[in-house]
Each structure stands twice: as C-alpha cells, then as structure tokens.
C-alpha cells in the first residue's frame, strides 16, 4: 500500500515542517505547500484515479485523516502566531501610564476662601442669606449703631484706619458693620437670618499672628423670642458640621459692645478630641468664636423694637480657623499666596 | 491686672487654689491669662554658715559648713563672693526643686557638695525687683532669721501668687483688688470678711480745691502732715511686686497700694512746695510742663492740668510736676483723689505718649462714689507706716450727679432672653451674691447697681450677670423657631460663585491680596475707573497708604513673588471690592504667566491672548450675557501696560467693562516678569445685567453640509468681520469657522491666508448641489468685494 504509506509520509513531513513554522510568512508558505488545493496534502487526492477502486475508500479516508491532522495542527499554529502577533502589537503600543493625565488639574483656593466657602455653605444650608457689606464703611455703621460711641473704651481694642479727607469714613474693623446695614435696611422690620463674610482691617503691625487685613464671618439672627439657648444650639450645629460630629462647645462670659450677654466660644479640640495636645495647648479646648445676644441698644439704634425683637450674633476669625486646621503658623503666609502653599488646597 | 492670691485669701477665708480661682474667674468673664508665683522652690531651709574656707582647686569657690537646724550640718561648695562665716542664708537642700532645676548631691572639683545657697533670682524672683547686691551674690538674710525654718518662701513673703486677669473694657472695676475679691466671693458664693474702719481724728482744713472744667467733676484732697519717708515694710513691697510694681519708698508705695486696692489713682504733692494752699483743675493752659521724670512736655488747650496759683502742678492723671514732687525730705503732703474724664486723659496720654497705671485706670473709668473712702484708707495706712501725725479733713469739690442706679426687669424677661427656666428664688439669690440687692415689686424685679459697676445700665446686663454667675452650661440648647423664608444666595452671589468655580476648574488659583497699597501702585492699570484713590489718614506704613482703585497690580505682585520663587507656570485670580472716591465696585482679575500645562510639561505651551479670550467668553457665558450684547474691540486705550496689538477691550455698547490680553513689555519689565496674560473685569457691572433669557431652537431636521474655502486677505482684516459678512451673504450660511491662518512662504508680505469652513443648511429641505454652489459663489463674491480677497481654493 504505497499510496497510503505516502499519505502517512506526507502527513509526517507536513507536521514536521509545521514545527519549524515561526511566523506568519512561513505559515503562508506552509499552507501553499501542503494545504492549498495543489499542496502536497490536498494534492494526494489527485492520485485517487491511480488507486484501484477497491482501495479508494481506504485511501480517501487516509488522505482525509492526514489532512485533518495537519489542518488541526496548522490552526493551532495559526492561533499561536496570531496571539504572538497581538502580544507583539501590545508590546509595541505599551505606554507609560505614570505620565501626567491630559486634563489640567484644578487650581487651589487660598485657605481664606476655603474657610469662608465652607462656613457659608453650612449657614446657607441652615437657611441663612449672605450679606457681604463693603470694606469702606462709615463710622455710623462700624461703631455708632453697634453701641461703640466716640470715646468708648472698646474703640481702643480696634484701632481703626480712617480715610483722609473723608469725614467719618473708615475701613471696617469688623464685618458686624454689614449687620448694622442689614438691620437698618430691613423694611418693614422683620426676622433676619444672615451671615456676613468679608475683610476687616485694624491698625496692627503684621507679624506671625497679626495682620492689618483679616477676614471674619459674622452671623446674625433676629426674631421674636430669640434666646441664648437658640444661640447655643445654632453654634453646636455649626461646630459639629465644621469640625466633626463629636465636637462639644463651652461658653465663657466675655464682652463685646454689640452683644449682651457676650460669650467666647471654645470648641473641644478637633486634633486630640479634647485630651489635650499641642494645638489646644493641653487644655482640650480651642477658642474659635465670639458671640452673644444682640444688645437692645443696637436693636433700637437700627430701628427695631427691642421689646418685641431679640437676636443673637456670632463671629469667627477666618484666618484663625484656617491656621489651626491646616497647621499654618504664620498668618502672613496666607497673604503671600505662594503657589506651593496653595497647592495643598488643589481641588478644594 | 495681676492680683495677689494671698490678698484674696486673707479677705475671704477661701480654701481654693489659684487655679480654681482662675477657672471661676475665666468662665465668668474675667479671663485669667496666667498664674505666676512670686517665688518658687521646695526643700528650702534657713541655714547658718558655720565655716567658710577657700576651695583648694579654685580661686573663687568656697567650702561651707552650713547649720540647717533640725536637718543637720551640711557641706556646700558655693561660688558667691559674699559667702562668709556667720551669714544666715537660704539653703536649697538636696532634692529641692527650683525654677532652674533640681538640686542633687555632687562633687565640685573633687569636693562633696550637699545642697546650694541661693539668691532670690534662683527662687524665680524677677531681677527688676532686686538690688545689684542681691543679684550678684547669695541672699543675705537678717541676723534674726530663724535657722532651720523650712517655710522660707513664707518667711521672705514670697509665698504669693499673681493671678493675671485680662480686664475687658466693660469691667474697669476689676482694676481694683477689692472688687476682684467681691467678684471671687460672688462666684464662690461666700461671705467677705468684714473690715473695720478706723476713725482717725481729723483737723479742720483750709486747703482749697476746685475745677474750672467739666472734664473734672470730683476733686478731693487731704493735707497730711509729719510723714516720714523710708523703705516700705516687706508685706507692702511684696504686694506691689505681685502686681508688677517696684517698691520705691513708703509714701510712693502707699499711693500705688491704695490704687491697686480701690482702683482709684492717687496723686501726692509736697505741700510745702505748692505755691499756694490750693489745687485747681484747669484745661486752658498752654506752654511747657516739666514733669518729675525730668522731661518737658508741651501743654495744649484741652489738657487737664492740676494747678496751684496758676502754675501746673500735675498733668492730671498722668504725671506730677517736678516742682512739687514728693522726695525723701518731704514732711507734709497733699493726697489727691479725683475723677477726670476718660476721653480727656486718653487724648493727652496718647498725644504725649505717656501712659501709667493711673492714666490707664482713668481711661477705663473709675468709681465716682468712693473718694472719701479712699482718702480715709490712705490716711489710715499713712499713719500706720509713714508716721503721719496731723490729718486734715478732706477738701472736696464735687459737682458730679451722684445717683442710685436702679434697673427694673422681670423674671420672665431674664428667662426669655437666656432661654432658661430659673425660678425666682434662685435668681434673687444669685443677683444678691453679685451685690445687686434685688427685690420683687409686683411683676418687676428691681436691682440696685453698685457704684463701681460702671457697665450696667439695662436689663440685658442683669441677664448677663445671672448667667455668668450660674454658668452657661445651665443653658439647654434649643434650636430657634424661625419663619420659613426664601433666603440663600442672591443671583449676583450665585454668578460670582459659578465663575470662581469655573476658573478653579480651569486650574487657576484663587488668591487673596491686601486692599491697602503704596502710592506707586495707584497709577497702573486704571482703565476701568479713573476716580481718585482713597488715602488713609493714619497709615501704618507707606507701603499700605491707599485703598487700591484697581485689582490687577496686586495680582501682578503675587505673580512676581511666585516667579522669584521658581513657581513659573500658573494662573491666579481674585474677585475683590474696589473702592475709590465716588466709586464702589467689585472687580475680577486674573494673571496667567509662563506655560499652560497640557499634559504636565509634555503638552505645555505658553499662555497667550487666546487663553484670556476663552476665559473671558466663558465668564460672560456664565454671567448670561449673550454674544452680541458685548463686543471685544481692538485696543484703543494706549498706555504702556497692555500690548496694543494683542489686547482687547470688552464693551457693552460704548461702556468699557473689562479688558484682557498680553501685558506690555514695559509693564512686564517693571514687574520683573517674562510674560503675563491678564484680564480685569468690572464684575459688578456685568453681574448686574439681566441674563439673556434662554430659548431653545428646534434642532435642524435636514442635514447640513460643510464646505471649505481658502482666501488670501490683507493681514489686518479681522476674522470676525469676515465671519459677519459671510453670515449675511446667504440665508443658507449657518456658521463660519476659521480652521487655519497662515502667513509666510507662498503668501505675499502683508497678506494672510485664511482657511474657512462654512456650514450650510436649510430648515425646510435638504440642500441641492446647485443651491450649495450658489451660496458658495455668494460667499466668494463677498470676500472679493468686501475684503479684496483672492480665493485660493474651494
């Protein structure tokens, strides 16, 4: 049975040749040489007519088996080469994913703005409005209406920049001036619920903790039957949103001309949780706010009937919060606006 | 105000530590800033030097044998030059803890030393209270000092502690020890120990007092004869030291002592040096005043001066004249206790730059009702420790309207204001502790205000007294019930926030800069307003003398600051109030410098005009100002601040509302910058405009086609003019975009090649090729006719 031997021989030969195939070109050549119509394997069929009829079935089966066997290995080889090709392609297309992304990174807000925006949002969410007021104010709104008449000792506490040749005009020493505006301009007199974030100025030499320009956020709520207990609850709400759920506050009696009673508000230290650390100087508490019940004299001066209306007010020092929170020990760094400093607030 | 802990305890029988007192005071509104012991040290004993021999290995050390009574005799190596046999000394025994550290047994150059002989410095006493002798050697105790006494601090009167209170402007009464004692008694709810007033026999007086000014309504004087000047007793000098005052002599010390106790400043005159037996207050003197400090001060009308026979004897409340000062030879004195108007004293004190403990108290306000009491106390102690013999009655000028102040309030008001539920009984008890003598009259609660409480004049004050004594922790938090109302941000505030968020998202940094600037910053970038800048009347420095009339220069300074620190590529912006004479606005500015980061530095390219333009367009879009309402115009404003060919003005009609572009090379150099793309906008003007209402158009139903053409034009033909012209040339033109601008090889000098892409379409049908060609022909005609354009290709 030479023919059948030959089929086997060609099969062996083809499989051997296939073993040497390494890449696509060789695979093509192999296909042409063996599996194409006139290739060695397929070509065996043309010998059919030379085969005696009684052996043709056997021969046919042998050829088919040979072709099937070769084809099988051929396809495997083909897959293998394609996988290898793809692998090569991926290798060549590989990029360095550690290179920077194409979208530019968001800029950073000065912590001054970070704190103002955060506090503002909290009070907006509580249903307050925002009255920014102006940097240049009159003595009337900055002092007189707020129960700080001329020669009042409290004017010593806030040495003021006055404008030259502009009688009674000054740079506001406190954002409370905006509250006086709000109360005077409310017509007819009714409830008020607002915060006044903004800049204020005092004749202080700039050093690590003092700045001739600084920012405050003052809050004011006026209504019928507003009490100190309402102030306390409001500040608790604010402090917990701003500094964490577990924060407590404590009130210490203090003095501001525009409130009576007046309090300083300490917040349990957000660094150590009240155990005592370097941030709170071991006391567990950090002084954050000044607050109080609006002095009836202020209400009356701004046109409110102090028998009917009462209110509370509070104020936060923006830079102080920023410095405590972000570990900045020099207020001048805030106003220097060094990009490397601002980078810490990217996306804020 | 440093108050003596010992004094408080003596007056109160109070068993509380300084820390406990400080805590109570702090929560009640008298914040204690520090607790400072006068002297410190444990394991101290009074010793007696039995022998003193030089140290064999030293030229200045001595080896002492010191008798420490019950503690035995110890050998101490001592370096003090005044160590000698027989001296009574303070010994810090082994294990003693001193401010400087712990005493341990040691070998000093081979000799055992067990303890240390101390100077007062080593016990923590401030050097300013000590003589040179005391600071250069060990303390020399009196011969009578009891050897073996271990309460050395007590023996030396150093066992006191200063409680340093930060006195707030509403509580000037706390500048007096006596009132601090009342406060502590109130807070601890204890009785004060009664003091017995000694009635000294008084002689009639012929001394005259008076005032010719309304700024002095009370003036009292007592003539006291036969005083002797010498050193003060230890207790007195120590009491003064607690308050930070150095002992001078008994007379001066008594003046300070009475002031510390009562808050009433005293002034002492040498009676025999007065030109006349009178003291008259005036405020109309001019000329020079020779003060007891040896300096001359100019007098102005309005300065309060105490005169005698028309001669200034004292700058009221501030300093005595050299002419009548009390000295060691003084025998007869006049003691003045007066009330001068705080504003007057403050004015003079600030003008001549002299302030004292006295002037401070006058400036804060003093009790008008205690002059006689103060005089009595002063006489008493003068007779006790200065040997005062003849004391005359007080000569008094008093036109002050003394009145009993009553405040009427109610329990309901107090609880309402505080949000508390205190019962009447508790309220009455608490206010009584505060010496307010409360009583109920029907619905009302009536309080009598003691004369030292200058701050109280309304019922709100009573609510404060009540809660600061009972403690704010008694208030139960209750959220306010307020009327629901539409509040939140105004449209303008919303717009500002949206623009800030946009610029931040674009990678710009939001900065905050100083409002106050120097004179040389005023002239620059004044395109948006030319109102005169506001000047400060009382600037601190020339660098911060004016309120800035423009914002951009401040931002350029920030850019310069950063570039000098190797931060080269960034954009910064700020929105700020701008004030000038007759002008109030709010500006938005930005500065872009260096490269815009693409993919980090990989895709970087320099910031240019079109970055600013893009941001400007976006900002206007956020403001809701539609294209067409504003125009970007070529630069017409001149100056050497903006590049004339690479800057644009933003105009609403004719009104200039902003500008942007490249900074002029001259201004760049001035600011030490290599590049800067800037913008300044009158945010207020733009944000005040009504936003263009939004109306949606139905999207085109039929497909549009896009055709490109390229045209060569004169270089200065503006694309926007071309675009407008093409938009008008056929109703089919939907939009015109430029996709290439080319000058250079192949284009004649002075010309540019502009590649345009036209989008054509119709609302009611799909365009036919014929229509398209017709429209393109119209477009080309327009380019040829209106712009002398040469069509290069279609």
Residue A102 lies in a domain: no
Is B370 in contact with B180 (CB distance < 8 Å)?
no
Count of residues making up chain A: 348
> Does residue B418 register a pLDDT over 60?
yes
Q: B597 and B743: one domain? A: no
B620: left (phi over 0), alpha (psi -120 to 50) or beta: alpha
Sequential DSSP letters for B712-741: EEETT--HHHHHHHHHHH-TTEEEEEEEEE
Residue B692 lies in a domain: no
Q: Rounded distance, CA B676 to CA B667, Å? A: 10
Nearest C-alpha neighbor of B511 from the set A107, A174, A214, A199: A107
Q: A231 and A338: one domain? A: yes
Q: What is the ipTM of this complex?
A: 0.86
To 5 degrees, how large is the angle CA A46–CA A51–CA A53? 120
To 5 degrees, how large is the angle CA B87–CA B93–CA B95? 165
- For CA atoms B320, B323, B324, B330, give the dihedral sign: positive
> Does residue A21 register a pLDDT over 90?
no
8-state DSSP, A345: G
Ordered alpha helix ranges (H), B440-538: 459-470, 491-505
To 5 degrees, how large is the angle CA B637–CA B638–CA B642? 95
Q: A192 and A65: one domain? A: no
Q: A38 and A123: one domain? A: no
Q: Spell out the residues 6+ positions from residue B151 whose beta carbon is closer than 8 angstroms to its own.
A: B159
Q: A133 and A220: one domain? A: yes
Asked whether the beta carbons of residue A252 and residue B27 sit closer than 8 angstroms, the reply is yes
> Does residue A154 register a pLDDT over 70?
no
> Does residue B251 register a pLDDT over 70?
yes
Angle, helices A228-243/A111-125, rounded to nearest 10 degrees? 130
Among B355, B370, B398, residue at a domain's last position = B398
Is B23 in contact with B163 (CB distance < 8 Å)?
no
> Tokens 């060695």 label which residue?
A40
Is B439 in contact with B431 (CB distance < 8 Å)?
no
> Does residue A12 register a pLDDT over 60?
yes
Is A345 in contact with A114 (CB distance < 8 Å)?
yes
Is B538 in contact with B546 (CB distance < 8 Å)?
no
* Structure-token pair, residue B7: 């004094």
Average pLDDT in the B100-115 region?
90
Angle, helices A228-243/B411-418, rounded to nearest 10 degrees? 10
Q: Name the minimum distance, in Å, from the CA of B668 to any CA of chain A.
A: 20
Ordered alpha helix ranges (H), B442-566: 459-470, 491-505, 552-563
- pLDDT of A140 reads 93
> Does residue B692 register a pLDDT over 90?
no
Indicate the pLDDT class of residue B343, thresholds 50, 70 and 90: confident
Tell me, yes or no, if A154 comes closer than 8 A to chain B by beta carbon: yes
The CATH number linked to B542 is 3.30.930.10
Q: B591 and B646: one domain? A: yes
Q: Name the minimum distance, in Å, from the CA of B658 to any CA of chain A.
A: 22
Which of A 280-319 lie inside 8 A of B, CB atoms? 293, 295-297, 310
- For CA atoms B681, B684, B690, B693, give the dihedral sign: positive
To 5 degrees, how large is the angle CA B124–CA B126–CA B128? 160
β-sheet bridge partners, residue B405: B449
Asked whether the beta carbons of residue B510 and residue A236 sit closer than 8 angstroms, the reply is no
For residue A107, CA distances in Å to B507, B580, B601 come to 4, 31, 16
Task: For chain A, give the mean pLDDT.
Answer: 90
B509 contacts in A (CB within 8 Å)? 107-110, 337, 339, 342
> Tokens 């004594």 label which residue?
B469
Residue B693 lies in a domain: no
Q: Rounded distance, CA B585 to CA B576, Å? A: 8
φ/ψ of residue B338, rounded to 5? -140, 170
Q: B71 and B150: one domain? A: yes
Tell me, yes or no, if B766 comes closer than 8 A to chain A by beta carbon: no
Residue B479 lies in a domain: no
Q: What is the per-residue pLDDT across A220-279, written as a single tens digit (0 to 9) for each?
A: 999 999 999 999 999 999 999 999 999 999 999 999 999 999 999 999 998 898 898 988
Q: A274 and A195: one domain? A: yes
- pLDDT of A153 reads 64
Is B591 in contact with B560 (CB distance < 8 Å)?
no
- pLDDT of B193 reads 84
Q: Rounded distance, CA B581 to CA B565, Å? A: 36
8-state DSSP, B216: E
Is B338 in contact with B219 (CB distance < 8 Å)?
yes
Among B398, B417, B435, residue at a domain's last position = B398
For the ranges A157-171, B296-310, B719-733, the lowest mean pLDDT is seen at A157-171
The CATH number linked to B216 is 3.50.40.10
8-state DSSP, A23: S
Domain count, chain B: 6
Among A93, A128, A162, residue at a domain's last position = A93
Residue A129 lies in a domain: yes
The CATH number linked to A309 is 3.30.930.10
Within 10 angstroms of residue A83's Cβ, the number of other Cβ atoms is 10
Q: A238 and A115: one domain? A: yes
Residue of B111 and B426 predicted with greater confidence? B426
Which of B 139-168 lie inside 8 A of A, CB atoms? 168
Average pLDDT in the B270-296 region?
93
- Compare CB distances from A227 to B419, B503, B558 and report the shortest one's residue: B419
B592 contacts in A (CB within 8 Å)? none
Q: Name the minimum distance, in Å, from the CA of B229 to any CA of chain A.
A: 37
* Structure-token pair, residue B384: 């006790």
What share of chain B in percent tops pLDDT 90?
78
Q: B226 and B364: one domain? A: yes
Nearest chain B residue to A298 by CA: give it. B460
Cα B215 to its chain centre, rounded Å, is 30
Q: B217 and B331: one domain? A: yes
Q: B535 and B677: one domain? A: yes
> Does residue B271 register a pLDDT over 90?
yes
Q: What is the per-residue pLDDT across A22-78, written as a single tens digit (0 to 9) for each?
A: 888 888 888 888 888 888 877 777 777 888 888 888 888 888 888 888 889 889 989
Among B355, B379, B398, residue at a domain's last position = B398
For the ranges A149-163, B166-180, B384-398, the lowest mean pLDDT is seen at A149-163
Residue B22 lies in a domain: yes
Asked whether the beta carbons of residue A106 and residue B507 sit closer than 8 angstroms, the reply is yes
Q: Rounded distance, CA A263 to CA A253, Å? A: 4
Q: B467 and B371: one domain? A: no
Indicate the pLDDT class of residue B700, thresholds 50, 70 and 90: confident
Residue A17 lies in a domain: yes
Q: B589 and B463: one domain? A: no
Residue of B364 and A251 predicted with greater confidence? A251
The greatest distance separating any two alpha carbons of chain A, rounded to the nearest whole angstrom, comes to 134
Nearest C-alpha neighbor of A108 from the set B791, B458, B509: B509
Nearest chain B residue to A233 by CA: give it. B477
For residue B317, the enclosing domain spans 208-398
Nearest C-alpha neighbor of B581 from the set B628, B531, B513, B510: B531
Q: B30 and B165: one domain? A: yes
Residue B697 lies in a domain: no
3-state secondary structure of B560: helix
3-state secondary structure of B222: strand
Is A285 in contact with A266 (CB distance < 8 Å)?
yes
> Dihedral angle at the C-alpha atoms of A269, A273, A277, A280, nearest 10 degrees?
10
Among A61, A93, A125, residue at a domain's last position = A93
3-state secondary structure of A39: coil
- Inter-chain contacts counted by CB atoms under 8 A, chains A and B: 257
8-state DSSP, B442: T
- pLDDT of B36 reads 92
Long-range CB pairs of B646-652, under 8 A, 24+ apart, other chains included: B646/B608, B646/B609, B647/B609, B648/B609, B648/B613, B650/B616, B650/B620, B650/B681, B652/B625, B652/B685, B652/B686, B652/B689
3-state secondary structure of A33: helix
Q: B392 and B421: one domain? A: no
For residue A200, the enclosing domain spans 111-345
Q: A200 and A323: one domain? A: yes
3-state secondary structure of B307: strand
Q: Spell out the residues 6+ positions from residue B303 whose beta carbon is closer than 8 angstroms to its own.
A: B283, B285, B315, B316, B344, B348
Count of residues making up chain B: 794
Q: A185 and A244: one domain? A: yes
* Structure-token pair, residue B34: 């520090």
Asked whether the beta carbons of residue A134 and residue B480 sit closer than 8 angstroms, the reply is no
Q: A255 and A284: one domain? A: yes
- pLDDT of A347 reads 82
Q: Rounded distance, CA B551 to CA B574, Å? A: 8
Span between the terminal Cα atoms of chain B, in Å: 91
Q: B672 and B628: one domain? A: yes
Residue B377 lies in a domain: yes
- pLDDT of A52 reads 82
- Compare CB distances from A228 to B419, B513, B561 and report the shortest one's residue: B419
Which of A 234-253 lie inside 8 A of B, CB atoms? 234, 236-237, 250-253
Residue B481 lies in a domain: no
> Tokens 């103002």 label which residue?
A116
Tell me, yes or no, if B498 comes closer than 8 A to chain A by beta carbon: no
β-sheet bridge partners, residue B572: B509, B591
B683 contacts in A (CB within 8 Å)? none
- pLDDT of A242 reads 93
> Does residue B476 register a pLDDT over 60?
yes
Average pLDDT in the A114-121 region?
96
Domain count, chain A: 2
A164 contacts in B (CB within 8 Å)? 534-537
Q: What is the pTM of this model?
A: 0.85
Sequential DSSP letters for B594-649: SEEPSSTTTT-EE--HHHHHHHHHHHHHHTT--BTTBEEEE--S-SSSEEEEEEEE
8-state DSSP, A35: I
By DSSP bridging, strand B111-113 and strand B106-108 are: antiparallel
Average pLDDT in the B606-619 region?
96
Within 10 angstroms of residue A143's Cβ, the number of other Cβ atoms is 28
Q: B33 and B54: one domain? A: no
Nearest chain B residue to A130 by CA: give it. B489
Q: A141 and A267: one domain? A: yes
> Does residue A167 register a pLDDT over 80?
no
Residue A98 lies in a domain: no
Asked whether the beta carbons of residue B29 and residue A255 sit closer than 8 angstroms, the reply is yes
The CATH number linked to B433 is 3.30.56.10
Q: A174 and A302: one domain? A: yes
* Structure-token pair, residue B141: 């105790």
Among A41, A65, A93, residue at a domain's last position = A93
To 5 degrees, how large is the angle CA B362–CA B469–CA B161? 60
B417 contacts in A (CB within 8 Å)? 227-228, 293, 310
Residue A104 lies in a domain: no
Q: A9 and A35: one domain? A: yes
Q: Rounded distance, CA A213 to CA A228, Å? A: 31
């Amino acid at each position: 049975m030479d023919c059948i031997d030959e089929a086997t021989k060609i099969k062996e030969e083809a499989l051997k040749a296939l073993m040497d195939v390494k890449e696509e070109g060789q695979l093509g050549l192999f296909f042409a040489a063996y599996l194409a119509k006139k290739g060695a394997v397929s070509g065996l069929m043309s010998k059919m007519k030379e085969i005696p009829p009684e052996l043709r079935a056997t021969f046919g089966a042998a050829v088919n088996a040979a072709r099937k066997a070769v084809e099988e290995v051929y396809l495997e080889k083909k897959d293998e080469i394609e996988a290898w090709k793809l692998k090569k392609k991926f290798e060549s297309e590989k990029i360095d994913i550690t290179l920077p992304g194409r979208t530019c990174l968001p800029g950073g807000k000065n912590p001054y703005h970070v704190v103002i925006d955060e506090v503002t949002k909290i009070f907006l969410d509580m249903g307050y409005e925002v009255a920014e007021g102006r940097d240049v104010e009159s003595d009337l709104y900055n002092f007189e209406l707020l129960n700080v008449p001329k020669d009042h000792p409290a004017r010593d506490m806030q040495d003021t920049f006055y404008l030259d040749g502009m009688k009674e005009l000054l740079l506001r020493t406190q954002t409370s001036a905006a509250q006086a505006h709000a109360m005077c301009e409310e017509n007819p007199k009714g409830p008020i619920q607002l915060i006044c974030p903004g800049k204020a100025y005092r004749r202080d030499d700039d050093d690590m903790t003092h700045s001739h320009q600084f920012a405050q956020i003052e809050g004011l709520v006026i209504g019928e039957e507003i009490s100190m207990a309402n102030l306390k609850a409001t500040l608790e709400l604010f402090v917990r949103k701003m500094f964490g759920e577990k924060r407590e506050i404590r009130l210490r009696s203090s003095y501001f001309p525009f409130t009576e009673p007046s309090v300083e508000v300490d917040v349990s230290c957000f660094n150590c949780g009240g155990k005592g650390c370097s941030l709170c100087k071991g006391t567990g508490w950090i002084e954050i706010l000044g607050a109080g019940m609006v002095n009836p004299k202020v209400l009356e001066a701004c046109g409110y009937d102090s028998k009917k209306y009462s209110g509370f007010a509070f104020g936060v020092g923006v830079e102080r919060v920023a410095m405590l929170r972000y570990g900045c020990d020099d207020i001048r760094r805030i106003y220097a606006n060094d990009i490397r400093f601002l980078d810490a607030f990217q996306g804020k | 105000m440093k108050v003596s802990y010992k004094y408080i305890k003596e007056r109160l029988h109070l068993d509380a530590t300084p820390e406990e007192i400080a805590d109570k005071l702090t929560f009640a509104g008298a914040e204690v800033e520090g607790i400072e012991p006068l002297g410190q040290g444990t394991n101290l004993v009074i010793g007696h030097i039995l022998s003193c021999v030089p140290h064999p290995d030293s030229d200045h050390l001595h080896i002492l044998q010191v008798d420490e009574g019950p503690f035995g005799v110890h050998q101490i190596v001592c370096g003090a030059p005044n160590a000698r046999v027989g001296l009574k000394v303070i010994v810090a025994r082994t294990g003693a803890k001193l401010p400087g550290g712990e005493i341990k047994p040691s070998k000093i150059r081979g000799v055992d030393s067990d303890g240390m002989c101390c100077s007062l410095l080593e016990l923590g006493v401030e050097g300013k209270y000590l003589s040179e002798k005391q600071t250069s050697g060990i303390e020399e105790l009196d011969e009578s000092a009891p050897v073996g006494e271990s309460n050395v601090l007590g023996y030396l009167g150093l066992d006191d502690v200063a409680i340093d209170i930060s006195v707030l402007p509403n509580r000037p009464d706390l500048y007096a020890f006596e009132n601090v004692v009342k406060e502590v008694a109130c807070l601890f709810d204890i009785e004060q120990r009664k003091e017995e007033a000694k009635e000294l026999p008084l002689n009639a007086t012929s001394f005259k007092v008076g005032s010719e000014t309304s700024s002095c309504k009370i003036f009292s004087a007592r003539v006291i004869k036969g005083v002797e000047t010498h050193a003060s007793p230890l207790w007195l000098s120590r009491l003064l030291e607690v308050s930070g005052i150095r002992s001078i002599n008994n007379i001066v010390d008594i003046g300070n002592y009475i002031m510390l106790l009562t808050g009433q400043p005293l002034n002492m005159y040498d009676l025999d040096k007065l030109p006349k037996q009178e003291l008259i207050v005036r405020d109309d003197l001019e000329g020079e005043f020779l003060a007891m400090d040896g300096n001359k001060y100019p007098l102005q009308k309005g300065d309060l001066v105490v005169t005698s026979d028309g001669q200034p004897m004292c700058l009221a409340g501030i300093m005595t004249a050299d002419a009548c000062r009390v000295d060691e030879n003084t025998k007869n004195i006049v003691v003045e206790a007066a009330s001068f108007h705080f504003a007057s004293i403050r004015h003079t004190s600030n003008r001549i730059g002299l302030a004292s403990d006295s002037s401070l108290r006058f400036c804060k306000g003093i009790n008008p009702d205690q002059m006689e009491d103060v005089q009595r106390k002063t006489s008493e102690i003068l007779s006790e420790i200065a040997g005062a013999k003849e004391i005359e009655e007080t000569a008094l000028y008093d036109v002050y309207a003394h009145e009993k102040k009553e405040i009427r309030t109610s329990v309901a008001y107090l609880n309402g204001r505080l949000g508390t539920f205190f019962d009447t009984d508790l309220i009455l008890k608490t206010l009584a502790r505060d010496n307010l003598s409360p009583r109920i009259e029907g619905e009302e609660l009536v309080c009598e205000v003691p004369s030292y409480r200058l701050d109280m004049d309304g019922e709100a004050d009573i609510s404060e007294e009540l809660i600061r004594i009972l403690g704010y922790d008694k208030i139960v938090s209750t959220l306010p019930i307020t009327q629901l109302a539409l509040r939140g941000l105004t449209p303008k505030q919303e717009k500002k926030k949206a623009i800030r968020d946009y610029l931040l998202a674009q990678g710009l940094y939001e900065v905050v800069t100083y409002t106050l600037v120097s004179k040389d910053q005023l002239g620059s970038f004044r395109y948006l307003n030319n109102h005169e800048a506001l000047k400060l009347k009382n600037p601190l420095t020339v660098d911060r003398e004016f309120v800035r009339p423009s914002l951009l220069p401040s931002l350029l300074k920030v850019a310069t600051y950063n570039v000098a620190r190797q931060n080269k590529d960034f954009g910064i912006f700020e929105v700020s109030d701008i004030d000038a004479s007759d002008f109030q606005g709010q500006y938005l500015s930005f500065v872009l410098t260096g490269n815009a980061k693409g993919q980090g530095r990989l895709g970087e390219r320099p910031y240019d005009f079109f970055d600013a333009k893009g941001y400007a367009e976006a900002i206007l879009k956020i403001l809701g100002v539609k294209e067409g309402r504003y125009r970007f115009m070529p630069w017409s404003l001149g100056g050497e601040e903006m590049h004339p060919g690479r800057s644009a003005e933003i105009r609403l009609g004719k009104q200039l509302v902003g500008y942007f572009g490249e900074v002029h090379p001259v201004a760049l150099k001035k600011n030490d910058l290599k590049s800067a793309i800037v913008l300044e906008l009158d945010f207020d003007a733009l944000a005040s405009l009504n936003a263009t209402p939004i109306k949606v158009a139905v999207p085109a139903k039929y497909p549009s086609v896009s055709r490109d053409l390229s045209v060569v034009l004169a270089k200065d033909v503006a694309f926007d003019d071309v675009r407008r012209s093409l938009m008008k040339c056929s109703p089919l033109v939907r939009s015109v975009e430029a996709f290439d601008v080319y000058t250079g090889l192949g284009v004649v000098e002075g010309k540019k090649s502009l590649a345009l892409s036209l989008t054509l379409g119709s609302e009611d049908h799909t365009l036919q090729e014929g229509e398209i060609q017709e429209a393109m022909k119209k477009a080309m005609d327009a380019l040829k006719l209106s712009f002398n354009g040469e069509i290069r290709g279609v």
